[in-house]
């Protein structure tokens, strides 16, 4: 794939993978992106997953022909991008690896081989001339590993953004960018909003005309849209006005309450409403939607004097990712001693800037007429 006169795509699509990082469902596969920059000297940008070694090396040979790469630039040491470093260095013994000091140290950990005598250490603002173009390296610690850097090509205005601006899905998946990019961001990077903000400040000083991430499509149009989304996501602001109703239900009664609330919100026409059965829905998508909207309703059963396990997992995931500055409604259910709301409140206290709405709907076994009125009142409060 030709991206510019001097930059070629040499990555691969993975349609065999079912779980990315052994936890995120990827029904449309995954892309492991790698690039070649052609100039007086040539540079390969990152490697790919170990399973695609032969395809990747063939892609390099097809692009370079009789030429050999001068540099391997390593931006991120997670194995889906770094697994073939040792293979590449053996295949091209004259090549030099360019990476941060932490990345070079990690290579010893992963491959038990010291590449320091064939390495250039890149730091903040370090430059590398390939001839007509100069690459500038910007450190991006904890986006989302400590050794990460990104690379800016001044000739074509390309930002090689490491895991930033990535998404789930192979490149041949016909799907909109935002849902899978949101799910990817909050699953993979979401904990590190402050660090992403720091990187965005550096990027704002660059004339960026194309973004080349390590996952997902190359972005070359309407870049302001993608940059604005990353600004919103990394600052933990709501992306749009709406309500996520996240619920668990053992025998269907709590689900009925969640459905009634969704109906009432829709009837009032006040905002977008999305429901998620946490036992059956994709957890990463539910987390993404919690950050997407400004309001969240938590509905769950009392379970072993606690809350249902999927709700506990959901709340722990939100806490880990810094969920804050939202409005939350609570619905609990319990047949003899409802305590779910109390437990959820305690979890919410670990978050910042959360407003808990009244009334808290408390169901005993099944929804009754009083509960219906409480749900009406909660809907009114959510619409204000």
Q: pLDDT tens for residues 270-324?
A: 889 999 999 999 999 999 999 999 999 999 999 998 999 999 999 999 999 999 9
Cα 362 to Cα 364: distance, rounded to the nearest angstrom? 7
Sorted by where each starts, the structural domains of the chain and their CATH numbers stand as 7-234 (3.60.15.10), 240-383 (3.40.50.360)
Q: Which two tokens stand for residue 112?
A: 């038990």
User: Over 90: is that where the pLDDT of 233 sits?
Assistant: yes
Q: Identify the residue whose tokens are 């932490």.
A: 102
Q: pLDDT tens for residues 164-173?
A: 999 999 999 9
SS3 136: strand
Q: pLDDT tens for residues 340-382?
A: 999 999 999 999 999 999 999 999 999 999 999 999 999 999 9
Q: What is the pLDDT of residue 270?
A: 84
> Model pTM?
0.93
SS3 6: coil
Burial 319-345 (b: 16+ CB within 10 A, else e): eebbbeebbbbbbbbbeeebebbebbe
User: Over 90: is that where the pLDDT of 199 sits?
Assistant: yes
* Average pLDDT of the residues of the chain: 96
Nearest Cα to 29, choosing from 166, 172, 187?
Answer: 172
């Amino acid at each position: 794939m030709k991206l510019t006169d001097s930059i070629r795509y040499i990555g691969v699509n993975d349609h065999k993978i079912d779980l990315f990082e052994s936890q995120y469902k990827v029904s449309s596969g995954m892309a492991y992106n790698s690039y070649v920059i052609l100039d007086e000297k040539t540079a390969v940008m990152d490697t790919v997953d170990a399973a695609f070694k032969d395809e990747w090396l063939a892609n390099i040979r097809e692009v370079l022909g009789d030429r050999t790469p001068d540099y391997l630039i390593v931006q991120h040491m997670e194995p889906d991008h770094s697994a073939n470093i040792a293979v590449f260095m053996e295949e091209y013994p004259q090549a030099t690896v360019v990476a941060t000091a932490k990345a070079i140290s990690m290579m010893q950990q992963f491959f038990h081989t010291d590449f320091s005598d064939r390495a250039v250490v890149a730091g903040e603002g370090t430059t590398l001339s390939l001839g007509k173009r100069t690459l500038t390296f910007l450190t991006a610690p904890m986006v989302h590993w400590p050794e990460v850097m990104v690379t800016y090509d001044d000739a074509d205005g390309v930002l090689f953004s490491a895991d930033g601006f990535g998404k789930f899905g192979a490149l041949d998946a016909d799907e909109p960018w935002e849902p899978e990019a949101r799910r990817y961001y909050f699953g993979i990077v979401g904990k590190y909003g402050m660090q992403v903000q720091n990187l965005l400040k550096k990027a704002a000083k660059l004339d960026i005309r194309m973004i080349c991430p390590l996952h997902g499509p190359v972005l070359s149009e309407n870049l302001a849209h993608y940059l604005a989304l990353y600004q919103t996501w990394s600052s933990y602001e709501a992306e749009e006005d709406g309500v996520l109703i996240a619920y668990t239900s053992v025998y269907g009664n709590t689900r009925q309450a969640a459905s009634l609330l969704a109906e009432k919100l829709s009837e009032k026409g006040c905002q977008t409403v999305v429901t998620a059965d946490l036992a059956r829905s994709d957890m990463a998508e539910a987390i993404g939607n919690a950050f997407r909207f400004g309001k969240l309703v938590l509905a769950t059963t009392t379970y072993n004097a606690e809350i249902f396990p999927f709700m506990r997992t959901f709340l722990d995931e939100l806490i880990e990712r810094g969920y804050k500055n939202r409005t939350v409604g609570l619905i609990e259910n319990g047949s003899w001693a409802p305590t779910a709301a109390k437990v959820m409140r305690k979890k919410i206290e670990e978050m910042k800037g959360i407003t808990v709405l009244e009334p808290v709907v408390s169901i005993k076994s099944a929804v009754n007429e009083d509960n219906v009125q409480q749900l009406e009142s909660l809907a009114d409060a959510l619409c204000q």
